[in-house]
Amino acid sequence: MVIQEVQQKDARLTQPASLGSLPFVPEALAPALNFASAFSGAPAGFSPTSVLIEIFGGIADPAHADRIAAGVLLGLAGQHPSLTAEHALALLDTIRVTKSFQLNGAIEVPFSPEEHLIVTPTALQPSQPDGIRLTAYHCVHPFVTRQYHATGRDPLSFTEC
């Protein structure tokens, strides 16, 4: 699977009001935790071999998408919003170095931003709502996809659609 990076072209995007000073967006953990919980107790052969993260719309502003992606990764790894900045940075460094994360704290899944992360700003798909789409693959076959739309900006929140 080859994913190409999408570049923003002359767009005015709004910043989520709740970004704060953490190295991740805490609100992005909730949809990722929800998605990861689908694999608790999954039978052998039903485990994902990769997870594709797509961030789109206004929350895909290049200035903030990395912190939203970090929140999603931490949520996929089973972390909760009470996570400290220091612990989050250590986990994100481990993901970068190992090029993998433990889905729901149990299933090792490879992660390379070049292959497993797509960021599509509003300018490229104006009709696309703000949100996150997570797709689990087994080999090259997608078998679980969930999409979450941002329902607010202050605070940033998501609902599954």
The structural domains of the chain, ordered by start, are 26-160 (3.30.1330.90)
Can you give the pTM of this predicted structure? 0.80
Question: What is the rounded (10 degree) CA torsion for 130, 62, 92, 55?
Answer: 20
pLDDT surpasses 50 at 14: no
Which residues is 119 bridged to in the sheet? 55
Starting at the edge strand found earlier in the chain, the sheet holding 156-160 runs 117-121, 50-57, 131-138, 141-153, 156-160
Mean pLDDT of all residues in 83-104: 93
Closest by CA position to 148, among listed 135, 134, 159? 159
pLDDT band at 44 (very low <50, low <70, confident <90, very high): low
Q: Please give the residue that has the higher pLDDT: either 40 or 133.
A: 133
Mean pLDDT score, 117-127 = 74
CB 75 within 8 A of CB 39: no
Please count the other Cβ atoms lying within 10 Å of the Cβ belonging to residue 15.
12
- The phi, psi pair for 109, rounded to 5°, reads -130, 130
Whether residue 42 is predicted with pLDDT greater than 60 in this model: the reply is: yes
pLDDT of residue 12: 30
